[in-house]
Amino acid sequence: MFRSYPINDRIDAGIQISLNEKIKEYSQRDDTLILALPRGGIPVAYQISQKLKIPFDMIFIRKLGLPSNNLMIIKVELERRDKEYRGDKPFPEIKNKNIILVDDGIASGASMKAVGPPEIINELKLFVDDVICIHQPSPFHAVGLWYRQFPQVRDEEVHEYINLSNNINHENENENHLN
């Protein structure tokens, strides 16, 4: 049986999102920052960043598979993951910024993604100014079903995208200072 997938891979998801008219309004704006949710959101956000010429960084807001609800353990684990990917680079300034939160799909509402069930998307709209979700299949089942290729994003890939982003963000800062 032939199956049609609306998204080829995470790179394609980023390209599709960047073509959305709502998100194009933020293109090349100094007051806008893309925050990606590692790991799956990193390749998606990188593509959006490239197409719209706005910087991207990452933020950890995810469910952690921990045996207890100990907030200190959660805090330490999030800090460890942040340090692993970010190194000594500080978290970007977000005050007075438009934040575009990006991930590769949404199943529960615990993070923001490119594919999601309509009922979760509608629920998110209560908490944010806008939600851009390029595909809202019903029934939904699972994020990976809507991608032709949906491998796990490896830590090495995340580091590569972050390094590329750091170089591009630095070049953009230099261009802004020259103008």
Q: How far apart are the first and last CA of the chain?
A: 56
Place 172 in a pLDDT band, splitting at 50, 70 and 90: low
Those residues with Cβ within 8 angstroms of residue 64's Cβ, 6 or more apart along the chain or in another chain: 74, 77, 78
pLDDT digits over 17-63, tens only?
Answer: 999 999 999 999 999 999 998 889 999 999 999 999 999 999 887 55
pLDDT at residue 105 greater than cutoff 60: yes
Mean pLDDT score of the chain? 81
**Contact of 132 with 121, CB cutoff 8 Å:** no
Please list, in sequence order, all residues whose beta carbon lies within 8 angstroms of the beta carbon of residue 165, skipping any fewer than 6 positions away.
46, 49, 55, 56, 57
Residues written for the chain: 179
Residues 7, 2: Cα–Cα separation, whole Å: 15
In this predicted structure, the answer to whether residue 86 has a pLDDT above a threshold of 80 is: yes
Q: Is the pLDDT of residue 64 over 70?
A: no
pLDDT at 179: 47
Which residue segments constitute the domains of the chain, with CATH numbers given? 10-169 (3.40.50.2020)
User: From CA 74, how far away is CA 29, in angstroms rounded?
Assistant: 34
Percentage of residues in the chain with pLDDT exceeding 70?
80
Please compute, for residue 111, the number of CA atoms within 13 A of its CA located in the half-sphere on the CB side: 23
pTM (predicted TM-score): 0.77
